[in-house]
Amino acid sequence: MKHLIITNGTVVADQVLEQGTVVTIGDRILLVAGKEEGERVVEAAIPGVFEIIDAQGGLIAPGLIDVHMHGCAGAELMDGTREALETMARFLAQNGTVGFLPSTVTASPEKTRLVCEVVAAYEDLADGAELIGIHLEGPYINEQYKGAQYGPAIRQADLEELEQLYGILGERLKLVTLAPEVPSGLEAVSWLKERGITVSIGHTNATYEEALAGFAQGITHVTHTYNGMRGLHHREPGVVGAVLATPGLYGELIADLIHVHPGAIKVLLRALGPERIVLVTDSVQATGLPDGEYVLGDHKIYVRDGAARLPEGSLAGSTLTLKQAVQNMIEKIGVDLVDAFRMASFNPAQTIGLKYRGWIREGYKADFVLLTPDFQVQKTIISGRVVYSAA
């Protein structure tokens, strides 16, 4: 494998470096340099040892990490096949995402176990995004805020079931969304936390006090903030109020400008700061495909004008890509380059406990996306290796 020198681009790192250069050795970042130092590195490069990649004045950005997505390109996790995961991984790499947690929807114990077995056995592709682990969204949620989750399969938290799933997945069980107010919910939070698994509050009718009890027990993450939870009222602040008032949480945001109003996005930015917002897609199998009829788990969904909904009109995931979410935050909300990419790369890595991942910094994993100034993906690089090239 050749080492890389990626040059002649705007490097999105701790600060923006115009006409910057990044050097990799193996799967790690060796050097992040400005214009003059980068030019010297290119001149001194040994042919045959380094491959020089010209970013052509575009962005050299950290590879994106999606910790909440259900499907894309006609496939979803609940298909329960290796082929579905491969389809998803290839599509994600083509759109600048280097790592992902495929997410379940609430399903029967048998179906949930099946998809966990498929994830546990999966091996990454040479031309696809890395499957980092799995996100269990449900089944321990509240019926009143189920959204597009399958109601008949909702159940109380079950430590025996969790033990079984953890036995299948091991370290690939990265994130679990639950409602802390459901029976045995707080016990499940403690059990998961003891094993280093990130616990998220979501699809929940918790009161302000019940949400705070969940945070005290070990919940550190919020599933699609604002969506699928008791909202803010001045006499009962609910889950949203508890999230806005509690420091140290990571809050997901679906920045498709459909799920959350731009004004509410700005409120979340003010409360959590760009250091704690995690951009996610919550994408469904229709992502990357035309409007039409699709499925999400056991539900039929309908996509019109890019919005995915249940027959009765409720939102059912999104058709968003993570690079579009970043672009929306920059162009529609006014977030700067560094903060926008941080929310889609470094913060997702941090919330699920990945070290030395998700950022362009010396010693970190060499994961990048090269974009044109108008956010078209030119190359996706994972562990110092080009896995997708538009040319």
Angle between helices 109-121 and 159-169 (to 10 degrees): 20
User: Rounded CA gap, 281 and 67, in Å?
Assistant: 8
User: Rounded CA gap, 139 and 151, in Å?
Assistant: 9
* Amino acid in position 165: L
Candidate list 282, 305, 336, 367, residue with the active-site label: 282
- Identify which of 288, 286, 388 has the alpha carbon closest to the alpha carbon of residue 76: 286
Backbone φ and ψ of 18, nearest 5°: -70, 140
Backbone φ and ψ of 255, nearest 5°: -95, 50
> β-strand 250-254 against 221-222: which pairing, if any?
parallel
Question: What are the CB-based long-range contacts (under 8 Å, 24+) for 330-336?
Answer: 332/257, 332/262, 333/255, 333/262, 333/265, 333/266, 333/269, 335/269, 335/274
User: Rounded CA gap, 258 and 157, in Å?
Assistant: 31
Tokens of 96: 């600048």
Number of Cβ within a 10 Å radius of residue 301: 22
Whether the upstream peptide bond of residue 109 has omega within 30° of 0, thus cis, is no
User: Rounded CA gap, 5 and 119, in Å?
Assistant: 34
Task: Give the HSE-up count for residue 268: Cα atoms under 13 Å, Cβ half-sphere.
Answer: 31
Catalytic (active site) residue 54: no
* Residues forming the active site: 282
